[in-house]
Structure 1
Amino acid sequence: MELTNLRQHHEELIYHMKNYGYSMSCIYMYKRQIREILELDMDSWTSYKDIYQYFESVSTNQKDLKWRRSVIGGIEYFDLNHLFPDRRRICSFIEPKGAYYTLNPKFQQLIDHYKAYAERAGKTKETTIDSESHCGATFFYHLQQLGCSNLESVTESDILSYFLDESSALLRSAGSCKNVKAVLKAGIEINKAACERVLLFLPCLTEHRKNIQVLTDEEVEKIKQLLNSECLSLRDNAVLQLLLYTGLRGIDIVNLNLQSIDWRRDCIRLVQSKTKAELELPLLPSVGNALYDYILTERPHCAYDTLFISAAVPHESLKVQTIRWIVHKAFGLAKIRMNKGDRIGTHLFRHNITSKLLENNTALPVISNILGHSSPRSVEPYLHTDFFHLKQCALSIEEFPIRQEVFAID
């Protein structure tokens, strides 16, 4: 393996890490690994995969292998592409995981075709495409495990065993079946007879929507108390202010840039990730103050134009997972939603705003506009949480004979 480039230019990597604020321990690990690679320089090495496998063979310490895997991946990224590490963890020697990578070429072709078909059909949300292709891949993997190498050899019982157990109890939801259908319908373009045949065998499952959880008034008050404390960083405080008072989706908060905040007109302007529609929301004083403090005091100086930046170096735009982590952390600090089964996602804040607007008799189209829905019907599931008006629809039971003991309280 040719290591001349690494030998001549590795000091550039170390210099970059020092300038971008990497910790001394991280820099030390890179220096140590580079030194060991250059000193050993074995003839048997043909790739960085061989280098990692060598250290894997001489070490049984899992912690040692974990940091070596990360560092060797960063060195490979620099040596082969002359690009500095940016937390991508791109390593040629890490085998990709997931059902798709275990499929035979025929099943993989169906997944690949679905992705191309979805883009042509105008599906703009990447998570939808990923979810449907993942469900399709796990469905094909199940068939492959049963010995089916193609759709032509699949039987109805093979298909039903993916969704139902031997006692006909549900193994997978109607949503999963819907995703598999999407993949098979796209596959009609390349294998019409087989895909249509499998579609006929898919079970008709009833879709059940879970009750939407909302924040209670007590929980909202505890979150507000947390925002007024000094327990959170300015960034995390600003993110929670946006969630609580605007109901923006996590992905939209991540995609906000510095130009999204119109300080003169006191509004927030953005193009929604889910619907691709423009949305303008008022900039409330508490939200504006939190954003101003973060931008002026805590936001790192970097080349990124996005509003929220990672605290760790190298600095980069925030990920959606970080928004979820901020919410999880906040709920823990506020000591709310700690029970098993309690929802703790960012959508709780959208549910909270919707329920309050419904409680105040706000028209559904107005709520849809505030939340950035593409259709007023998107608000309908939230009607089940409008307990204030649901109670008004309740029928009196005064005229029905009921034993006195039924409502007796000890």
Structure 2
Amino acid sequence: MFEKLLSSATALRRHQDAPLAAERERYLQHCSDTGATYWSMRIKCNELLWAARLLDGDARNGLDMDGLEALADRRVAFQNAGTTRRRFINITRPWLRFLGWWNEPAVPCKFQDKLDLYCLWMRDERGFTNSTIVGWRCRVRDFLIWCDAGNRELQLLQPSDIDAYFIDDLAHPWGRRTVATVAALLKNFLRFAASQSWCHSQLADAIRGPRIYAQGSLPYAPDWRDVQKLLACTVFDAPQDIRARAILMLLSIYGMRATEVATLRLDQVDWQQHVIRIFRLKRRQPQVYPLLPSVAEALARYIDIVRPSTPYPEIFIGLHSPRRPLTRAAIYKIVSSKFLELGIKVVHRGPHALRHACATRLVADGLTLKEIGDHLGHRSTEATRTYAKVDFTALREVGDFDLGELL
């Protein structure tokens, strides 16, 4: 890799003879494989040479942020340009992390071993998806940190302690529905904890979340005219607009979830048969949809013009190095930024809002709840019933019903 980046024999020899040459070259190859540009790798190559010379023999045992800051101070002493310090840290830290020499800062949690066992149980025994495990883990970890901060032991927990956690407004300003969700997952965790003899067996049964009335709220869908504005603002030739247009179409036309978009692969689009196979998370099986010409055009334009060359099979890749598949959070950021850019005021401005907009549009077009549920990949009609509340045509028919002489 050094030979590809350095044309001078003197410079090549200087890099090859410096400490940690193999480690630096291996990382540069990794950067190349993940889509780093030539000039960005030239900068990395030169900065890593400084890092290799400044590191001591204990670097293999791990380096934290304080140690890296100290190295940056020594680096600045040689060349005190405006961006030297930030560039050195931003390049050296990923390299150390790649080598396994970086000590990630972490909020200490004395219940970490129990939390890890709970996550393994969710994965191996319950078969939860990774996204569900991550979400539940964060909620339970917050609760365990709260217990630790108050010197509360799991074996001594009482129902009054659980009540104190939920009414602690400083720890979490939650709404009614969030409280109900957290109560349900804490009950799940405490039942597992009781099976491991970590807490009292009846503690979980003492948790009572607030009652959530079925169909008690309206779907938070933006108006379809706002969805059309979102699509209209992505008709330009900028790479981020070309990618955003394809993502917005998948979310609003097929009602895909953010994770379904992030994990969509190249082999799921059949250009010859004009179909797209979407793996629906809740049904845990693929569904086949017609590949609409407008969606096909948007996807083809992104893949042919914008998508970088990468070994990843996922369709949507980051535009900057390291070029990796987009995450669910990245999909949210793309959609949210478009709502903010256009000044569209909605209750929620994430990908799920476009899924609701898709469902509301199908209701307006006269599709049945069964057809809408099938389109959205719902497992049962219960999840689709909420959209009956926005079927204004049917609601007007009910409102105009004349009892006549029956009164």
Q: TM-score range by the shorter chain?
A: 0.7 to 0.9
What's the counterpart of residue 71 of structure 2? 55
What's the counterpart of residue 384 of structure 2? 379
- 1:206-258 CA distance string (max 9 Å, x none): 23665321121331332343244556532222112222221111211222222
- Relative to structure 1, the CA distance from residue 161 to residue 289 in structure 2 (aligned partners, 3 Å threshold; closer, same or farther) is same
The one-letter amino acid paired with 2:103 is F
Q: CA deviation at 1:351?
A: 0.8
**The 10-residue stretch of structure 1 (115-124 or 278-287) with the greater mean CA deviation from structure 2:** 115-124
**The 10-residue stretch of structure 1 (55-64 or 322-331) with the greater mean CA deviation from structure 2:** 55-64
- Relative to structure 1, the CA distance from residue 180 to residue 393 in structure 2 (aligned partners, 3 Å threshold; closer, same or farther) is same
1:326 to 317, 328, 334: 334
> Pairwise mapping of residues 194-343 of structure 1 onto structure 2 (< 5 A)?
194-207=199-212, 210-230=217-237, 233-333=241-341, 335-337=342-344, 339=345, 342-343=347-348
Structure 1 distance, partners of 2:236, 2:57, is 60
The 8 Å contact of residues 28 and 41 in structure 2, kept in 1 or not, is answered as: no
The TM-score with structure 2 as length reference comes to 0.78
Q: Given the alignment of the two structures, is residue 93 of structure 1 paired with residue 111 of structure 2, yes or no?
A: no
- Relative to structure 1, the CA distance from residue 109 to residue 275 in structure 2 (aligned partners, 3 Å threshold; closer, same or farther) is farther
Q: 3-state DSSP class of the match of 1:233?
A: helix
1:366 to 361, 365, 371: 371
1:151 to 150, 154, 179: 154
What's the counterpart of residue 84 of structure 1? none
The 8 Å contact of residues 188 and 204 in structure 2, kept in 1 or not, is answered as: no
- Greater RCO, CA 8 A, separation 6+: 2
Q: Given the alignment of the two structures, is residue 189 of structure 1 paired with residue 203 of structure 2, yes or no?
A: no
Q: 3-state DSSP class of the match of 1:241?
A: helix
The 8 Å contact of residues 174 and 205 in structure 1, kept in 2 or not, is answered as: yes
**The 10-residue stretch of structure 1 (359-368 or 219-228) with the greater mean CA deviation from structure 2:** 219-228
The 8 Å contact of residues 55 and 71 in structure 2, kept in 1 or not, is answered as: no
The 8 Å contact of residues 327 and 344 in structure 1, kept in 2 or not, is answered as: yes
Q: CA deviation at 1:162?
A: 0.5
The 8 Å contact of residues 132 and 179 in structure 1, kept in 2 or not, is answered as: yes
Q: How many residues align?
A: 371
What's the counterpart of residue 183 of structure 2? 177
**The 10-residue stretch of structure 1 (224-233 or 366-375) with the greater mean CA deviation from structure 2:** 224-233
Q: What is the identity percentage for the equivalent residue pairs of Structure 1 and Structure 2?
A: 21
- Relative to structure 1, the CA distance from residue 215 to residue 25 in structure 2 (aligned partners, 3 Å threshold; closer, same or farther) is same
What's the counterpart of residue 126 of structure 1? 130
The 8 Å contact of residues 132 and 182 in structure 1, kept in 2 or not, is answered as: no
What's the counterpart of residue 346 of structure 1? 351
- Relative to structure 1, the CA distance from residue 49 to residue 213 in structure 2 (aligned partners, 3 Å threshold; closer, same or farther) is same
**The 10-residue stretch of structure 1 (14-23 or 213-222) with the greater mean CA deviation from structure 2:** 14-23
| Coordinate RMSD, CA, aligned | 3.5
- Relative to structure 1, the CA distance from residue 120 to residue 289 in structure 2 (aligned partners, 3 Å threshold; closer, same or farther) is same
The one-letter amino acid paired with 1:309 is I
- Relative to structure 1, the CA distance from residue 57 to residue 145 in structure 2 (aligned partners, 3 Å threshold; closer, same or farther) is farther
The 8 Å contact of residues 110 and 183 in structure 1, kept in 2 or not, is answered as: no
The TM-score with structure 1 as length reference comes to 0.78
1:6 to 2, 16, 20: 20
What's the counterpart of residue 4 of structure 2? none
- Relative to structure 1, the CA distance from residue 140 to residue 18 in structure 2 (aligned partners, 3 Å threshold; closer, same or farther) is closer
- Relative to structure 1, the CA distance from residue 237 to residue 7 in structure 2 (aligned partners, 3 Å threshold; closer, same or farther) is same
- Relative to structure 1, the CA distance from residue 248 to residue 46 in structure 2 (aligned partners, 3 Å threshold; closer, same or farther) is closer
The 8 Å contact of residues 367 and 379 in structure 1, kept in 2 or not, is answered as: yes
Q: Where does the alignment leave 5 or more consecutive residues of structure 2 unmatched?
A: 1-16, 403-407
Q: 3-state DSSP class of the match of 1:343?
A: coil
The 8 Å contact of residues 282 and 377 in structure 2, kept in 1 or not, is answered as: no
Structure 2 distance, partners of 1:157, 1:276, is 39
Structure 1 distance, partners of 2:243, 2:381, is 33
